[in-house]
Structure 1
Amino acid sequence: MPAEIRAVSTKELRQNFKKYADDITNFGETVIVTRPENKNVVVISESEYNSWQETNYLLASQKNRNALQNSINQLDKPDSKSHLLTPTEFEQLAND
C-alpha cells in the first residue's frame, strides 16, 4: 500500500515539525508543504530520497535500462529461475 501523502501549511509544519518528521521517517509518509503562489515543497525521508536517486542512476543509461528489461523479460518466461547477479555479472550483462 502506498504511503500517505499529506498537505500542510508552513505554519502547521513549523508548529508540529517533530510529529511530521517522525511520521515521514517511521511510516514513509510524504508531506507537501503548501506555500503561496503554488511554490510548494515536498518532504520525504532520506531513505526514500536515496532510493529515488538509485533508481534514477540505474535508469540513466540505455545499457542499464536494456539489462534491466532483459532481466524482467527472462523472469516472465515459464522456465525462468531466480538468480542474484553479482555486481560484476550485472556490469557484464549491461555491457553486452
Structure 2
Amino acid sequence: MSIKITSEEAAKNLDTICNQLIDTNEVVRISRPDGKNVVLISETELESLLETLYLLRFPANSTRLFTALQRAKEKIVKPQSVSELYERLGLQEEDKSSDINLAS
C-alpha cells in the first residue's frame, strides 16, 4: 500500500512520516511540482528489496527459489525445523552462529 503526498506536505511532516514508515513499512510517493516524483521507504524495506533483487538476479538461484516456493504452496515438502535442516546437511548445532554470520 502506498500513500501519496505533495512535497510541501512531506517537508512539513517529515518526522511523523518517517515514524509511520518505520512502523508500517508503507511506501510514500511524494509528488513534486516539476513531475519528477520520489518515493520514501524505510531502511528495513529497502534492505529487503535489495536482498530480494540480489537473490533473484541469478537465473539458477531464481529458478530454485520459485521451485521451492511452489513445492511449499503445494505442500509437496513438509516443513522442517532448523535443527532438522542442520542434521540433514551434516552440520553441528554449535556451527549455527558462525554459519549464520557467513550467510549474512
Q: TM-score range by the shorter chain?
A: 0.7 to 0.9
Moved beyond 4 Å, runs of 4+: 76-79
Match of 2:44 in 1: 47
Question: Relative to 1, partners in 2 of residues 1:23 and 1:63: Cα closer, same or farther, differing over 3 Å?
Answer: same
Q: Give ranges in structure 2 of 5+ residues lacking alignment.
A: 90-104
Q: Which amino acid aligns with 2:41?
A: I
Identity value in percent: 29
Aligned residues: 84
Structure 2 CA distance for aligned equivalents of residues 42 and 80 of structure 1:
39
Cα offset, 1:76, TM superposition: 4.3
TM-score for the superposition, normalised by structure 2: 0.68
Q: Which amino acid aligns with 1:20?
A: I
Question: Relative to 1, partners in 2 of residues 1:73 and 1:38: Cα closer, same or farther, differing over 3 Å?
Answer: same
Q: Give ranges in structure 1 of 5+ residues lacking alignment.
A: 90-96
Alignment root-mean-square deviation, CA: 2.1
Equivalent residue for 1:19, pick from 16, 38, 44:
16
Question: Relative to 1, partners in 2 of residues 1:10 and 1:82: Cα closer, same or farther, differing over 3 Å?
Answer: same
* Greater relative contact order (Cα < 8 A, sep 6+): 1
Cα deviation 1:35-80 (Å, max 9, x = unaligned): 1232100000000000000100010001101211221233245552
Cα offset, 1:29, TM superposition: 2.1
Structure 2 CA distance for aligned equivalents of residues 75 and 45 of structure 1:
29
Question: Relative to 1, partners in 2 of residues 1:6 and 1:74: Cα closer, same or farther, differing over 3 Å?
Answer: closer
Structure 2 CA distance for aligned equivalents of residues 78 and 25 of structure 1:
34
TM-score for the superposition, normalised by structure 1: 0.73
Question: Relative to 1, partners in 2 of residues 1:71 and 1:79: Cα closer, same or farther, differing over 3 Å?
Answer: closer
Equivalent residue for 1:68, pick from 58, 62, 65:
65
Structure 2 CA distance for aligned equivalents of residues 79 and 7 of structure 1:
42
